Chain A
Amino acid sequence: MATSEEQPPTTQPFTLEDPLDLIRLSLDERIYVKLRNNRELRGRLHAYDQHLNMILGDVEEVRTQIEVDEETMEEIFKTQKRNFPMLYVRGDGIILMSPPEKPTY
């Protein structure tokens, strides 16, 4: 491992070097994934690659549709849920992923 000598060590105990480390550290964890078209997934991460193609287990998909009440102009969120025991997700539809809580480094 090459260490940069120009910069003093940061006060943080751990700094990520590569954004994809965040997903690597989430393997076998339940993660949250936000997709295009108002879709969200929660499931256990079994595999991923550099495109963020993924395989998730015990997945719940939530689709949210926003309808605006014409009279009150209130936004009504309507959700539809589906479950999948094992799901391949193509990476190009992914907007973001997040580990369930702070991973323990």
Chain B
Amino acid sequence: MPLFHTFFKTLVGKEMTIELKNNLLIHGTLISVDQFLNIKLDKISVPDPDKYPQFLSIKNCFVRGSVIRYIHLPPSEVDPTSLQEATRKEAMQSKMQQ
């Protein structure tokens, strides 16, 4: 079932940019992810620190999964073939449960 949870666990230690539903972009290194796809980032930065001075003093943060719109992923760390395989497998499993 937890395809995306499993996927994001493989990206721990990698850099990515989280785009929130309020349009804020947070760049950082993935520390951890849970089943709700809540995310902890370390070494964070925002593109416009003057606009968000509160981020100057923050080094890491916890982002609630539900406020995330996109996550810009590092393409070199993503294997499309294995993702598609995992997706097909999970789709099969959820079909069996129906």
Residues in A lying within 8 Å of B, measured CB to CB: 18, 20, 24, 27-28, 44, 46-50, 53, 55, 57, 84-90, 92-93
Contact = CB atoms under 8 A, between A and B. Distances in A.
Contact of A86 (B78, B88, B91): B78
Scoring A18, A47, A87, A89 by chain B CB atoms within 10 A of each residue's CB, the highest score goes to A47
A27 B21 contact: no
B59 interface: no
Given A46-B78, A55-B78, A27 B88 contact: yes
Please report whether the interface of chain B is mostly helix, strand, loop or mixed according to DSSP.
helix
B88 to A, nearest CB: 7
Interface residues of B, number: 27
A53 B66 contact: no
Given A53-B4, A88-B4, A47 B84 contact: yes
Interface in B82-98: 83-84, 86-88, 90-91, 94-95, 98
Nearest to B80: A46
27 contacts: A18-B95, A24-B91, A27-B84, A28-B80, A46-B78, A46-B84, A46-B87, A47-B87, A48-B87, A49-B3, A49-B4, A49-B87, A55-B7, A55-B78, A57-B78, A57-B80, A86-B74, A86-B75, A87-B71, A88-B70, A88-B71, A89-B70, A90-B37, A90-B66, A90-B69, A92-B66, A93-B21
Contacts of A92: 66
A87 B16 CA distance: 10
Contacts of B88: 24, 27
Given A50-B94, A57-B80, A93 B69 contact: yes
Contacts of B95: 18
B47 to A, nearest CB: 13
A87 B78 CA distance: 10
A87 B70 contact: yes
Given A47-B7, A86-B74, A88-B4, A27 B87 contact: yes
